[in-house]
A and B are shown apart, each in its own frame.
Chain A
Amino acid sequence: MNDTFQNTAAKRPLVSLRDAAPWLVATGFLLVMPFIFTANSTITIMNQMAITIIFALAYNMLLGQGGMLSFGHAVYMGVGGFMCMHILNMVEDYSLPLPLPLLPIFGGLFGMGLATIVGAFSTRKAGTVFAMISLGVGELIAACSIIIVAFFGGEEGIPGDRTYGLPFFGNEFLHPIDVYYLIVFWLILSALLMYLFSRTPVGRMANAVRDNPERAEFLGYSARKVRFISFTASGFFAGVAGGLFAINYEILTEENLSLILSGQILLITFLGGVGFFFGPIIGAIVFTLLQTVLSLETELWQLYVGALFVATVMYFPGGLAGVLMMHYPSVKLGKVKSLVVPYLKTLVPAIIGLLGTAGFIEIMFHGRHAAVGDEQMTLFWISLNSHSALPIVVTLVLAVGGIWVARRFAPEMAEAWHRSITPNAPPPPAQPPSTRDAA
């Protein structure tokens, strides 16, 4: 579980251009995005993505960096969001001098406050105990949201209006685009702070406690205290995400506390990759895209996302970021080109096979669940009859054939990858078997 950027050089300036470059590029990219995608719907998606990124990064402070698996992290985001909503309404009622862009700080503080209370007893151990306590606390607070109507608003939730606050340099945050820049500001700030946190001694100790708590204790560190600090910090940033959620959607309901959301953030973080700082960012982007784009195309998107998740856990425990970083040595050795042909040979049939499988599933689903008499369906822009044999046979042939071809070429692909990460590899026949087992 290495991090992306390693400080190997002995004497260097505090911030080198190489360290700052990804951040500058990301900032520039985020600032330019609204000029490329101008539609309001796209900006809404980007807002959602940015909030999810902050939440996922906060979650990964626990899962990836601290080794704590939480099944109730939505609670901290939700409570932060609810507090922000109440403060927003107070600003409106009593005309308090609080500019809207500062609101997420309060979300963060209340998220951290709750995390301090829960963390006081839940961080004693990591692993299963922590997971179970987080599940119990998550269920408790989610259930309270229906009982304590004064704070959580019951089933209707707590609505608010961001435009009634104090104008910020004349900006009333009427349009999604204004909110976008507010969210982007907080995204960059929180991501940077979370990254810097992982560089601090306490962030490093979190990694040590994750890998070997006993040894860390022998070195004189309290594993519990280290976990507690990670946990409260994670609660803070989850609360910030909640505050941004309140500003963006102007309503919080019991759904914001539910276990479904807690499970979703686990899925997002793991899909992106817990081993690298940028993993959850990839996960949040991919998941939000899947959620918005795929759900328009098919009713079964959750089935595909679930299958993708299980496949990731089984075959790529490093997630998408792990798969990307597997190729870092090949890039460094300048051998990426040798990968193109073997990858195409395997991945193109694999994609065809997967699309065929998806097509078969879609036809079966339509055949089973469509209204009686409705036999026409559209699959990949082709209109077909879901009750006739031809499309079923075609998709089955594609599925089986594609996957069969892909499996045939898979060893070749693995071989090519091993060669690409080995410096000056001899030709395949002369290769000793031990180098192949290295990865």
Chain B
Amino acid sequence: MDLFLVNLIDGLVYGLLLFMLSAGLTLIFSMMGVLNFAHASFYMLGAYFAYQISTYLGFWTGLLIAPLIVGVAGAGIERYGLRRVHQFGHVPELIFTFGLALLIEEVVQFFWGKSQKAYDTPEILQFALFSIGNNSIAAYKVFMIFVSIAIFLALLYVLTRTRVGMIIQAALSYPKTVEALGHNVPMVFMGVFGVGTALAGVAGVIAGPVLGTFPGMAFVLGSIVFVTIVIGGLGSLWGALLASLLIGWMTTFAAASSFQFADILLFLGMERPADMAASKLRDLWTLTMPQIGPILPYMLMVFILVVRPHGLMGKRGL
């Protein structure tokens, strides 16, 4: 039971982190119809900028400034890159963001090298807040949970209760009409792209100390973020939250489970082969749940796309 609670919290932390990335991505997608392949690269930039700032001014300044820089960079890329490619169609846009992801990884390696950076949690939060059984829960994890929830609530408030949010929502469905009413829709797009990438930046700032700040961090999380928003349903904030938590818990529980496929084989009445190397089914005998944990989200995505192409909570198909 203790372990279950610990996994529940760990899964929540991971899921909410995924949510911060997928929230921005899903907003950007529903606006422009393009999946931003480089979204996780902005997350990486957030971590590296915050690391660089924290070496001079400390963690908290980094938490404030780094997302701003990332957001401005994102808006700039939308204005001078993506908008240009937009005229060629959706596939070139997707290819452009893919190239951007490659380029950002190379640029990060150029400035900061290939090794992991010593970006650490702030000293104030380096203590165990409480413990469940013998497992202590770090204060930083609770901090991450609160930051993510605060961002979700703020986003929800802005999108549904303010005038800006109304315009954004209207521009999602009827960009031409909104433009005709006198709103600067390209400007709205640029703003949403900037805010979305800034959110990814925030995720990077707070995840960098926990998951490690290294050039491969975007690649590790990148495709999982897509999977999240596809499962959740594109354009749906609630769907993104649901899918993020689902994937967070799924991967955490799979990684912690002690389930082995040998148990199933034994249950089916098969006998454990004496010489494992000679057995045709040796891979099934040695397969464990933590091994297949990382591919569970992909299996779920393919399944969802085949069965219900508009995702769990999405209103329209891809």
Residues of A bordering B, CB below 8 Å: 63, 67, 69, 71, 121, 125, 127-129, 131-133, 135-137, 139-140, 143-144, 147-150, 259, 263, 266-267, 270, 300, 302-303, 306-307, 309-310, 313-314, 317, 361, 365, 368-369
Min CB gap B24→A, angstroms: 17
Give the contact-size bracket for chain B.
Answer: 35 or more
Cross-chain contact A303 with B106 (CB below 8 angstroms)? yes
B99 close to A267 (CB less than 8 A): yes
Interface on chain B toward A: helix, strand, loop, or mixed SS?
A: helix
Residues of A within 8 A of B237 (CB): none
* Bound-complex Cα distance A140 to B302 (A): 10
B298/A139 in contact, CB under 8 A: yes
Given A129-B305, A148-B283, 15 new contacts (CB under 8 A): A67-B91, A121-B306, A125-B317, A127-B91, A127-B318, A128-B35, A129-B317, A132-B301, A136-B299, A140-B295, A263-B98, A300-B110, A306-B103, A317-B85, A317-B88
Contact B85 A314 (CB under 8 A): yes
- List 5 tightest A-B contacts by C-beta distance, closest first: A303-B106, A306-B103, A143-B295, A129-B318, A310-B99
Q: Which of A67, A139, A147, A303 lies in contact with B110, CB distance below 8 A?
A: A303
Contact, CB under 8 Å: A129 / B309: yes
**C-alpha spacing A148/B85, complex, angstroms:** 41
Q: Of residues B91, B92, B99, B107, which shows the largest number of chain A Cβ atoms within 10 Å of its Cβ?
A: B99
Q: Does B106 lie within 8 Å of A314, measured CB to CB?
A: no
The CA-CA distance from A306 to B81 in the complex, in Å, is 15
How far is it, in angstroms, between the C-alpha of A135 and the C-alpha of B95 when the chains are bound?
Answer: 13
| B176 contacts partner chain A, Cβ-Cβ < 8 Å | no
Which chain B positions have C-beta within 8 A of A129?
305, 309, 317-318
Instruction: Encode contact with A along B82-125: 1 for CB under 8 Å, 0 otherwise.
Output: 00110010111011101110110111011101000000000000
* Separation of A300 and B287 alpha carbons in the complex (Å): 40
The residues of A that contact B92 with a CB separation of less than 8 Å are 313, 317
In the complex, A132 Cα to B94 Cα: how many Å? 11
Within 8 A of A (CB), among B273-312: 280, 282-283, 287, 291-292, 294-295, 298-299, 301-302, 305-306, 309
CA distance A129 to B307 in the complex (A): 12
- Find B302's partner among A136, A306, A313, A361 (CB 8 Å cutoff): A136
Instruction: Kindly count the residue-residue contacts between A and B in the assembled complex, taking CB atoms under 8 Å apart.
Output: 111
A300-B110, A310-B100 known; A128 and B90 CB under 8 Å?
A: yes
Q: Could you tell me if A365 and B110 are in contact, using CB atoms closer than 8 angstroms?
A: yes
- Min distance, Cβ B93 to any Cβ of chain A, angstroms: 9
B223 near A: Cβ within 8 Å? yes
Q: Is the CB of A150 within 8 A of B283?
A: yes
Known: A147-B291, A266-B98. A137 touches B302 (CB 8 A): yes
Cβ contact within 8 Å between B227 and A136: yes
Q: Using Cβ atoms and an 8 Å threshold, which residues of chain A touch B287?
A: 147
Q: List 9 A-B contacts (CB under 8 A).
A: A128-B94, A129-B318, A132-B230, A133-B305, A136-B302, A139-B223, A148-B283, A303-B106, A361-B110
A143 engages B106 (CB within 8 Å): no
In the bound complex, residues from chain A placing their C-beta under 8 Å from that of B110 are 300, 303, 361, 365
Closest Cβ neighbor of A260 among chain B residues: B219
Chain A proximity mask over B202-238: 1 for CB below 8 Å, otherwise 0 = 0000000000000000000001001100100000000
Q: What is the chain B residue whose CB lies nearest that of A270?
A: B95
B103 A303 Cβ-Cβ under 8 A:
yes
- With a cutoff of 8 Å between Cβ atoms, the chain A residues found around residue B81 in the complex are 310, 314
Which of A148, A259, A317 neighbours the largest number of chain B CB atoms within 10 Å of its CB?
A317
Q: Are B102 and A313 in contact (CB under 8 A)?
A: no
CA distance A317 to B93 in the complex (A): 10
Q: How far is the CA of A328 from the CA of B226 in the complex (A)?
A: 41
A306 proximity list for chain B (CB < 8 A): 99, 102-103, 105-106
Q: Judge whether B318 and A125 touch: CB under 8 Å.
A: yes
Bound form: Cα–Cα A131–B91 in Å: 9
Q: How many angstroms between the C-alpha atoms of A236 and B294 in the bound complex?
A: 29
- Whether A150 pairs with B99 at a CB distance below 8 angstroms is no
A132 touching B226 by the CB < 8 A rule? yes
Q: What are the residues of chain B within 8 A of A67 when measuring CB–CB?
A: 91
Q: B91 — nearest CB in chain A belongs to which residue?
A: A69
